[in-house]
Structure 1
Amino acid sequence: MAKVKYYYDPEKLAFLKIRPKKFKYLRNVFLFILSSAIFGILGLFILINTNVLQTPKEKVQEREIAEFKTNYLLLNKKLDLLAEVLNEIEVRDNDIYRAYFNTAPIPEEQRKSGLGGINRYRAFAGLTNEKILVTTNEKMDVLSKQIAIQSESLDDIIELAKGKEAFLASIPAIQPVKNEDLKRMASGYGYRSDPFTKIKKFHAGMDFSAETGTPVYATGDGKVIRANNQLSGYGNLIEIDHGYGYLTRYAHLYKYNTKQGQSVKRGDIIGYIGSTGRSSGPHLHYEVHYQGNVVNPLNYYYGDISAKEFELLSQEANQENQSLD
């Protein structure tokens, strides 16, 4: 109950009741209602943004969302580490593997190119953790693309390595006659005196003097494309196509240990030294051809002799003596 207030009236010499004005009363009522509404809204806002009114289910959901966000942050860190490892592999791929096989590196813009096109992540629009969801999925998509490119590149490197291995095995790289079987390296590549006419003419190979029946070895992997005596002057002749532009000839053989169409490996015995055809004594006439041109066999003996042996062989081969064929 509101207190009754009085005032003293000097004219009437009496205390009279104070009667509030009607407008003031209404104002006070309005202010009361307004302040109540403000405090009510403020209280509701506080309740909504605190855990005071959360149900047990909402608390569980909030905890799950927090764990979900933490897990995504950890996943992002792992993706960053994977990106660093992949980057190191890409560097080795371009600067070591592809450089070794003389193959053009994969351009950086191709490795790092974006996915482009339509918005791939519009499904996350408006979600509470939209930013972290988009960032994580984008990283995963980019990494997946880079891994696919790198995987294809490593497949190419494996094929190049296989090809390189076959290439190295095919190049003529050893002497066709072992040193211990040689009497001497009778004649080298270049202009030599013909044993029959005594006139200088170009000698297209190297002559290895040895006993009849001494084994002759294939100097590289390849396929026998000739094993007959149909090439004039060469007597019993073997030709091996090594691929990659290389071909070798083994002439004046006593007999064959292979046949036309047969595949041979470096070091296989393919025949035996003789003196058939245009020959002045038992020896092997050996030629190396590259891209259709005859080349000096001396440059293809790095596979089985030492530097000292090569130097002695070079000195003998470069003497302008008489050939044996």
Structure 2
Amino acid sequence: MSKVKYYYDSETLSYRRIEQKKGRKFGFAILGVLGAFLAGFVLLLIYLNIPQLETPKEKAYKRELDNMKLQYELMNKQLKKDHAVLAEIAERDDNIYRLYFGAPPIPGEVRGAGYGGVNRYKGYEGYDNSEMIIESQKQIDKLTKQIAIQSISLDEIKNLAEQKEELLSTIPAIQPIQNSNLKRMASGYGWRSDPFTKARKFHYGMDFSAATGTPIYASGNGTVTRADANSSGYGKHIRIDHGFNYVSLYAHLSKYNVKKGQKVKRGDVIGYVGSTGRSVAPHLHYEIFKDGERINPRNFYYGSLTSEEFNEMLKASSLINETLD
């Protein structure tokens, strides 16, 4: 209850009550409202301009969003790995399996084609992270389509394989050095450091480090076309013509177990590891030719390696190291 105030009136010699003017009361009320509004506005500006001030609900949303972004990043990394594995399968399919059976390679535009026509990703548009989500979905769709194409190709290869048993027996298909005798995969196909000049040089085969005298096996049926040391750098080496425009080469041998013109079968011992020719240590340098061109031998071991051994061989052969020849 507000206090009542009085003043002394000298004319009437009595106390009179002080009456407040209504306009003044209204003015104070307006000032109070304006002050409260101004204070609220200032606090709102401060809140909006200080990002670290977040409500618990906003913090929860932010954590959820950060987790979603992390999951998408991990998924995209896995998709890239899956694409790399599928690309490796496609390379072997086009350059080995389909060539084995005279089937034309699948065109790159077919393997890499996406989905045309209607916008399949319209439902993902309009969000803060739409671009990331759409790109991930595109990669999934592309991978799905490529897997379907590869599956159809493998079905075709299976049908052709049933008709060409003879061809399969001739194509190089095993590792020329047994894993039990292998010290290590010294170097693979690709750009490597030359052991003599230390310069980068393209290495056209695979080097298998093994002790002198380790048996070397023919990787497929065929006819020995060379068993001599008359090719620069190779030292004592053997070449086998497998037919169908495939030739395998085995270099730096210590001695031969076959001679020119001899017919051999896959798994026959044709020679022994050495370090003849341009070599810095005992090893086998192995090459494969198709239509006169040297190609990567790593895709020609399906007949002798388990999937785990093949994966280990891929890792070792891809290392950028120094060759032994």
Which residue of structure 1 aligns with residue 169 of structure 2? 169
Moved over 6 A (4+): 160-163
Within 5 A, what are the aligned runs for 1:1-325?
164-325=164-325
For 1:163 and 1:198, locate their aligned partners in 2 and report how far apart those are by CA, in whole Å: 48
**SS of equivalent residue, structure 1 residue 174:** coil
TM-score by length of 1: 0.50
Partners of 2:162 and 2:180 lie apart in 1 by 34
Return the letter of the residue paired with 1:276: T
Aligned partner letter, 1:247: V
Deviations 1:219-239 (A, max 9, x none): 000000000000000000100
Shift of 1:280: 0.3
The code of the aligned residue for 1:272 comes to Y
- Kindly provide the amino acid, as one letter, of the partner of residue 195 in structure 2: P
Cα 1:163–1:250 change in 2 (3 A) is farther
Residues 102/195 of structure 1: CA separation in 2 closer, same or farther (3 Å cut): closer
| SS of structure 1 residue aligned to 2:201 | strand
What amino acid maps onto 2:214 in structure 1? T
The residue type equivalent to 2:222 in the other structure is: G
Letter in 1 for 2:186: A
Q: What residue identity is the alignment partner of 1:303?
A: G
Structure 1 CA distance for aligned equivalents of residues 210 and 161 of structure 2: 38
Shift of 1:166: 1.5
Counterpart residue identity of residue 273, structure 2? I
Shift of the alpha carbon at 1:102? Answer: 8.0
Secondary structure of 2:164's partner?
helix
Deviations 1:197-247 (A, max 9, x none): 000100000000000000000000000000000000000010000000100
| 1:165 positional shift | 1.6
Whole-angstrom CA distance in 1 between matches of 2:206 and 2:237? 15
SS in structure 1 of the partner of residue 260 of structure 2: coil
1:74-121 superposed Cα distances (whole Å, 9 cap, x missing partner): xxxxxxxxxxxxxxxxxxxxxxxxxxx789xxxxxxxxxxxxxxxxxx
- Deviation at residue 184 of structure 1 after TM alignment: 0.3
Aligned mates of 2:280, 2:224 — CA distance in 1: 26
Separation in structure 2 between the aligned mates of residue 279 and residue 224 of structure 1, nearest angstrom:
23
Matches of 2:213 and 2:277, distance apart in 1: 16
Aligned sequence identity (%)? 60
Q: Which amino acid aligns with 1:274?
A: G
Q: Distance in 2 between matches of 1:102 and 1:324?
A: 36
Render the CA deviation track for 1:234-289: whole Å, top value 9, x for unaligned.
Answer: 00010000000100000000000000000000000000000000000000000011
Distance 1:306 1:237, change over 3 A: same
Counterpart of 2:234, as a letter, is Y
- Deviation, 1:164, is 1.2
Larger radius of gyration: 1
Q: Tell me the secondary structure at the aligned position of residue 261 of structure 2.
A: coil
Whole-angstrom distance in 2 between the partners of 1:162 and 1:225: 29
Inter-partner Cα distance in structure 2 for 1:289 and 1:250: 12
Structure 1's 247 and 161: CA in aligned 2 closer, same or farther, altered over 3 A? same
Verify the 8 A CA contact 2:161 2:168 in the aligned structure 1.
Answer: no
Amino acid at match of 1:300: F
Alignment coverage as a number of residue pairs: 169
Structure 2, unaligned runs of 5 or more: 1-100, 104-159
TM-score with structure 2 setting the length: 0.50
* Secondary structure, counterpart of 2:207 in structure 1: strand
Gap regions ≥5 residues in structure 1: 1-100, 104-159
